[in-house]
Amino acid sequence: SNESEIEDVKKNLLIKLFSEYSVDSYIFWYYTPMSLNFTQGFSPALVVFDCMDELSAFKFAPASLKQNEEQLLQISDLVFTGGESLYRAKKDRHHSIYSFPSSIDKSHFEAARSIKHDPIDQQNIPHPRLGFYGVIDERFDIELLRNVSALRPDWHFVLIGPVVKIDPAVLPQSQNVYFLGGKSYQELPGYLAGWDIALIPFALNESTKFISPTKTPEYLSAGKPVISSSIQDVVSPYAELGLVHIADTSEDFIKAAEYELGHSDRIKWLEKVDQFLADISWDKTWHQMLQLINNKLVAKRDSTLYNLNSKETIYV
């Protein structure tokens, strides 16, 4: 089949890569169980499964994904989960599993606090602006956006990101809803700077049950108030600490937004935000992961073969 031919090409490219660079000591780091289809027959010193989402719950997920995941869990030396709820769901399925909630590139998003100039396609959108960036797919609560934008035509909703796996025709066509398309990572703080409130309007369904949105600490780092649906990894810890509003209904959403739009003094809140974010960074996350990897390598008596600062970790 065409699919098996593609997997053969991937496998041959990997073999060629190892041959050209004389790679004989390596770690396999999996982001998706589907990569097992082209990595059979190799002998990595360590197998890491970085389980960032419950991929089997996503729309159009391959039928074999669950079976592949079971196999990957069996061969993995370490499993990392992208949040606490995903960790709780998986922790009984592996002997060395660790939770790593979403972290942040703090300086990148903190820049939004001092940016004064709007990107061209956002300049003419009136305030108040309520914004979202991310993939707009089956996880997005379209009905909540439709209802709130209809109830508050004086508010303006800015959505940044590609529309995938859903028909764009089902999205609200209101005059106060603006779809600006995909933007680069570098551009995001510039858009975020011009919003009054940042949104995490995810529907509560199978595909959002275990997600840990990276945008939560990013929005907060930019100094923006946040309204989110009751995604478990946002409720705990962010809402429990009073850093984020939780709203699943139009009524609660409007109430939270009206509160924020009426309160410009956020000094104490921002102090709490900065205190919480002070100890969070991707560098710290990586160092913690690296320690676990090194410990596992030592336990397997192979640690002397690897220099993890080299490019011998193969991400699949």
Tell me the average confidence (pLDDT) per consecutive run of 10 residues in the chain, 316 residues long: 85 93 92 90 93 64 79 94 85 90 92 96 98 94 96 98 92 95 97 98 87 94 97 94 97 97 92 94 92 91 52 53
pLDDT at 3 (0 to 100): 80
Q: Which amino acid is at 175?
A: Q
Which 8-state DSSP code applies to residue 125?
P
**Residue among 223, 228, 209, 252 at smallest CA distance from 53:** 209
Q: How far is CA 231 from CA 126, 144, 165, 179, 197, in A?
A: 29, 15, 21, 23, 18
CB 82 within 8 A of CB 101: yes
Task: Determine whether 316 is exposed, middle or buried from the number of CB atoms within 10 Å of its CB (0-12, 13-18, 19+).
Answer: middle
The continuous run of DSSP H or E covering 174 comes out as none
Beta strand residue intervals within the chain, DSSP E:
27-30, 46-51, 78-81, 97-99, 129-133, 156-160, 177-181, 197-200, 226-228, 245-246, 313-315
pLDDT at 261: 96
Six-digit token pair at 274?
Answer: 């900065």
For 270, the 3-state DSSP assignment is helix
- Residues paired with residue 156 on neighbouring β-strands, in sequence order: 129
- φ, ψ of residue 269 to 5 degrees: the values are -60, -45
pLDDT for 61 equals: 53
Give the per-residue pLDDT at 2: 82
